[in-house]
Amino acid sequence: MRQTRREFVRTLFVATQATVIGSLLPRTLLAEDARNGGLNFVAIGDWGREGEKDQQDVATQMGIAAASAGAKFVLAVGDNFYEHGVSSADDLQWETSFETVYTAPSLQVPWYAILGNHDYHLNAEAQIEYTKKSKRWYMPSRYYTRTERIDGATNADFFFIDTMPMAAFDEGEKFFEKKVPRHDVPNQMAWLEKSLAASTAPWKIVVGHHPIYTGGQHGDTPFLVQHVLPLLQKHKVQAYINGHDHDLQHLQAGDVNLFCSGGGSKPRTTSKTPHTKFALGCSGFMAVALQADKMNVRMINDRGQLIYATSIARDA
């Protein structure tokens, strides 16, 4: 398919931007983040493809970045196993897509995981069960909370949600609709509102698989726009981290920053929306340095280039 002149110019601009930012030496920045203390972690989504090249390349660079930053944990934001999830806690894909791919010492930290749409195709509960077998995989239930220490006086609360019951189904995925507990949406929403209201942490971060707004292939998620986003705004959540679209994005909805880290394998094209601050269709991941007063976000591609960096004030 031929590009229009506008599309060509946009592609050239994005490629040039990536080259320029890539020269900023992410390892140096990540090492600086580590020296500044705080809570450092990495986030990856849409990744499990039995060690295919894109997945392995991202895993290698993620291990390097996690070591430089002193990452305390990994956020696995869904679509953990392609194409159809896992059949059990003993499925071979635990080895071929996870254990033998993310082997860097820096990645032998807790992986706080949630479910994506592909994870529901077979046995979603198996990913919860694997928590009992693994030293690093952590998914105690379909939705849950974690409190992490930033420094001696500051905590961050993480809220992990299951967006699958809230999402519309792609035409090609109607076959697993009965496996998705849509009836539980009111309970999950009540839990989320109660948990956000009870949180006294200065930092609140919500993690879900589907995007709220996006320039990616799947489009916005109407239920999240109408029902989840207002809760995030009401309770002063600073960031929402998702996957689903196979790219890296930063968007903004009011004071809520929306980060897509869905570049774990097989990237797709993306575009800009009125909410977009950055978007690039590439394989990669996100490195985050959370301090008492700010959140530094670095997006890094599968070649180890820093393609985007931003800093968010806690009380923006």
Active-site annotation, residues: 218
Q: Which of 275, 297, 172, 272 is nearest to 216 (CA)?
A: 272
- 89 bridge partner residues: none
* Measured distance between the N- and C-terminal CA atoms of the chain, rounded to whole angstroms: 43
Cα distance between residue 289 and residue 35, in whole Å? 11
What are the distances in angstroms from CA 156 to CA 145, 266, 291, 292?
11, 32, 10, 9
Residue 133: CA atoms inside 13 Å, Cβ hemisphere, count?
A: 12
* φ and ψ of 28, to 5 deg: -65, -45
Cα distance between residue 185 and residue 35, in whole Å? 42
Contacts of 94 (CB under 8 A, 6+ apart): 86, 130
- 168 bridge partner residues: none
Q: Which of 290, 288, 296, 294 is nearest to 314 (CA)?
A: 294
Give one DSSP letter per residue of 249-265, joined into a string: EEEEETTEEEEEE--SS
